[in-house]
Structure 1
């Protein structure tokens, strides 16, 4: 079979993938999974780490999460957590590995236990061996060197015009199909592994094409500081920006099966949803209240159908709306007719079920604060609280590798100088670094921008534990702690500096 025949065959196979797959009845369900096993010959000093971290992006949950798994002195490990559908995940070493081994990839379905042994292979390299669970069934795919994300960099890093980008995308699609064919034949993929590889490819492709459009638009709409200190995006070339609104420039997305639930197994899918949500052809509503929600939903329906080249709301489109419903809950929760509008968008039974559960759970909340979470790492927060009795604390979790964190700190210097005059609140800045006490770059930044603030730099491992305790992944992330050592509910906490006085006063009024 020549190369052209192979590509033609695979194109047809991808097109039929949604019809060909048989998804088990219990594919979508909320249940606990357990990952356990042993690293043979583990020695903490020689390996360079004692814990591993997994970033969990579950599109069914409002908040992302970080999972920390401790490695015992004998090399054994075990971690249990909840998911809503099968996922490919990985635990990565929380510190810098000294032995070349740094991650444990696995594939798991809700309700499963995955048993993994990590040991040296014949080449003297550490390798994962799967003893049970779905990971054993798709081991060849988990260990494969498909490198699809690396291949896609030629598209999402491209700086040229749309026509040329689409030519690159066309070639990329064929190259990835050929790569899957080569690797799957060499490693003897099973039919399920082939479907997972194809879903991974389609997910990477969709993200890369829309991400290229995002970057293209951002270059034409740079942020500029105004006279009043605020920042606004300024369009430098409106004519050059028009292609980002032209649905025809996204025509290759029609090849992606956005109804395929296997797309969800890839952690990149969360970011693909974000890109689809905010794709330029998706227009914002200028209306407010329930009318604005209805108007935006109608515009979203039309935009998603055009983007995906299909006449119904796909699984991916419904998940975009579901995520938007969760993210904007604080804006629409007071409108009685808002939730039925969202609910009418969901024809997928599991999405509809999760939407109803989310709404019931949020509406049932009555407590404005909750006790601090218990677990390893919380002593860091308790020590801070003890230094500032009687004050509200706003904790800013940030990092030197986070551009938006640095910009937020730089832009808020004058605002923070005013906040510092108050005796009822204190700002706390917690960052992380591999170097004890922070790198030279960290110390230089703190000296210039945070010299008068309470700053704490902890290890990557300790920062991951705080992420797990406070249930967040992305930074900057903000938490508000009351003088009686309680955590403020997410919809009432102070989120940054721009509306600090208003948000603090709102909180004080609510807590009276």
Structure 2
């Protein structure tokens, strides 16, 4: 009887092992996928090994690889199974995709425990089921849940305001928040994406104010966006951009699909459009019509080799043909599908026109750069012919609608610094009423005998060869005088700036006149925008009296009341009672992240550098400051803190760089946390430098690191004066 029982047990175990060995699951069910490249097409389990068939779909001729860090993780026990091999492929070997765009790879792992029911593949595919009964089922319910639909309807219905009828409305400029409420179908926090970002900027002041989009565990998001006018922009979630149109005071409902994020990951060589996006609210129809229009692909990867071989004229002609083709496409779209001609049409048309203008401005900048490198090329030293700027004739520089597209921010920056505008300012011939050295002679009571002798010689308009040699022998300079008589020099600089600014105002009129005569540009509202944009820099570099006089003169040539009001606000911000005061960080997630970083360093004035290894100017700035940092490495007064994020500073590059630059107090934080800090200190681009005082307050949230020692002197003096008053 006993032998019979043992025999049965052996047979049962053998049958179990045989069954396990023969177990094959095609198209296994999974809960969530975080990659658009890979799926698991088959699993084979046996007592000896586990084979996972990875079906990769990617761009032809782009490569994929697998490392020796690949693993399976038991969902219940968290036990890890490290990869043993990739059949026919070495670890780290780059395998290029064929023209069919797909390949299947067999990854071999140790045998799974018999109790394993589900596993994760790395951080890419989660909840892969070994249940054969679930094979082939879809992983998500991609329909919109009833409760989410009700929530979206309720929130958009709260908005009672009506949209603008067109863009000629006097309410076009309106400082009011717009709201986006949305939901991502098929979303999971396992994606690692818990935040998104809208990179807002004020195109009048040049100020950035990026806004974090917090994604809830159930896939919902709700974000308020401070606006000054209607906006056609994009929200970035992960690496994917989602376009939207919004007006001040209105609410837009948005429904996204996680599958679109996966397609965007797969087709990362193009600007993938989120086709399965739905909208709710009074702006839903406009958003849908904008989404349905398909712009021509402007992929850098697609055209770069071709464009390298083209001349400047050929490139200009290519860009113009593309513009004309896309404009014709817009005309057809508007007429064939009865699209909103008052709002959708100007947005699409202006986006194409502004993109084209940017391409041509880019050519002009490239030409100027090459001319500086090749000074012997006489052709390059000539200015561009007037005909080059004929594209300005097609741009409605006086229409509100031009300001809606985010492309306008880049365009107006290129426009105001283009040769057409700057040549008028650059040609100002007036000199300050008095030479700096004569000013020192007349106004500096502590001027030494030797310095006065040098100043008398240096201030002479015509010098003899002997006097020139005498000046050289004295080994003095403007820099030396600035260090010795800084206060008086500063007063002269303010006097010189006031004189120059007074002469600059008419140059804007000259530019406007030339643009009207040569390019038939009337009602040049964009030029007035450029005038207002110039104020921030000027206000920050001269005293209140000079700035006030300049602004009063400049505003006489500006008609739009909102532009004048914006200039007044800029003036108040720089010279008002609350200007230059240290401020406390607002309570919230962002401040908590930042305070945890700086907590070990409180008690010192901190110079915080937001940077990345992938940012050339950031890396260059840190290298230039290396010796300066060494001067202060034992300082009890100041210290340096460096903050970057994991995505833009890969770990290997990061470790090598901080070692080479001997950086201390370095923090490499998650991408999600970094977005909060972007919002906190209001910056879209890096490098960005922030100064924190000894109490943890913000002294300067846009510090000029390139002028570190001079600015440091101002900071220390300001702090000393403050302590004296206390």
Same fold (TM over 0.5): yes
Question: Using the alignment, how far apart are the partners of 1:151 and 1:445 within structure 2?
Answer: 29
Match of 2:243 in 1: 105
Question: Using the alignment, how far apart are the partners of 1:389 and 1:357 within structure 2?
Answer: 33
Contact kept in structure 2, 1:158 and 1:212, CA below 8 Å: no
Q: CA deviation at 1:153?
A: 9.5
Question: Using the alignment, how far apart are the partners of 1:332 and 1:326 within structure 2?
Answer: 11
Q: Mind listing any 5+ residue stretches in structure 2 that lack a counterpart?
A: 1-164, 264-273, 432-495, 722-726
Question: Using the alignment, how far apart are the partners of 2:226 and 2:567 within structure 1?
Answer: 17
Question: Using the alignment, how far apart are the partners of 1:23 and 1:186 within structure 2?
Answer: 25
Q: Deviations over 1:303-351 (max 9, x none)?
A: 4554572455611111111111123321244214111022123212221
Match of 1:29 in 2: 174
Change (3 A) 1:189 1:312: closer
Q: Deviations over 1:19-48 (max 9, x none)?
A: x97522311111111111222332111x44
Q: 1:92 aligns with which of 236, 239, 242?
A: 236
SS for the counterpart of 2:583 is: strand
Question: Using the alignment, how far apart are the partners of 2:641 and 2:383 within structure 1?
Answer: 40
Question: Using the alignment, how far apart are the partners of 2:509 and 2:646 within structure 1?
Answer: 44
Question: Using the alignment, how far apart are the partners of 1:303 and 1:245 within structure 2?
Answer: 16
Question: Using the alignment, how far apart are the partners of 1:316 and 1:375 within structure 2?
Answer: 38
Matched, 1:41 2:186: yes
Q: Mind listing any 5+ residue stretches in structure 1 that lack a counterpart?
A: 1-19, 97-101, 223-234
Question: Using the alignment, how far apart are the partners of 2:503 and 2:309 within structure 1?
Answer: 34
* Higher mean C-alpha deviation, range 56-65 or range 160-169: 160-169
Q: 2:252 aligns with which of 93, 114, 131?
A: 114
SS for the counterpart of 2:622 is: helix
Question: Using the alignment, how far apart are the partners of 1:393 and 1:507 within structure 2?
Answer: 11
Matched, 1:349 2:487: no
Aligned pairs for 1:205-284 within 5 A: 205-221=356-372, 236-237=375-376, 239-281=378-420, 282-283=422-423, 284=425
Match of 1:296 in 2: 504
Matched, 1:194 2:345: yes
Change (3 A) 1:461 1:237: farther
SS for the counterpart of 1:56 is: coil
Aligned pairs for 1:39-78 within 5 A: 39-45=184-190, 47-78=191-222
SS for the counterpart of 1:33 is: strand
Question: Using the alignment, how far apart are the partners of 1:253 and 1:406 within structure 2?
Answer: 37
Question: Using the alignment, how far apart are the partners of 2:303 and 2:220 within structure 1?
Answer: 40
Matched, 1:485 2:485: no
Matched, 1:509 2:717: yes
* Higher mean C-alpha deviation, range 152-161 or range 317-326: 152-161
Aligned pairs for 1:457-472 within 5 A: 457-472=668-683
Matched, 1:500 2:645: no
Contact kept in structure 1, 2:515 and 2:521, CA below 8 Å: no
Question: Using the alignment, how far apart are the partners of 2:258 and 2:627 within structure 1?
Answer: 55
Q: CA deviation at 1:407?
A: 1.6
Match of 2:655 in 1: 443
Q: CA deviation at 1:414?
A: 2.2
Contact kept in structure 2, 1:28 and 1:85, CA below 8 Å: yes
Match of 1:228 in 2: none
Question: Using the alignment, how far apart are the partners of 1:177 and 1:199 within structure 2?
Answer: 9
* Bigger Rg, which one: 2
SS for the counterpart of 1:427 is: strand
Matched, 1:414 2:637: no
Q: Deviations over 1:39-81 (max 9, x none)?
A: 2332111x44111111112213441111111111222110112
Contact kept in structure 2, 1:427 and 1:454, CA below 8 Å: yes
SS for the counterpart of 2:277 is: strand
SS for the counterpart of 2:419 is: coil
Aligned residues: 469
Q: CA deviation at 1:363?
A: 2.7
Matched, 1:473 2:684: yes
Contact kept in structure 2, 1:176 and 1:201, CA below 8 Å: yes
Question: Using the alignment, how far apart are the partners of 1:81 and 1:236 within structure 2?
Answer: 48
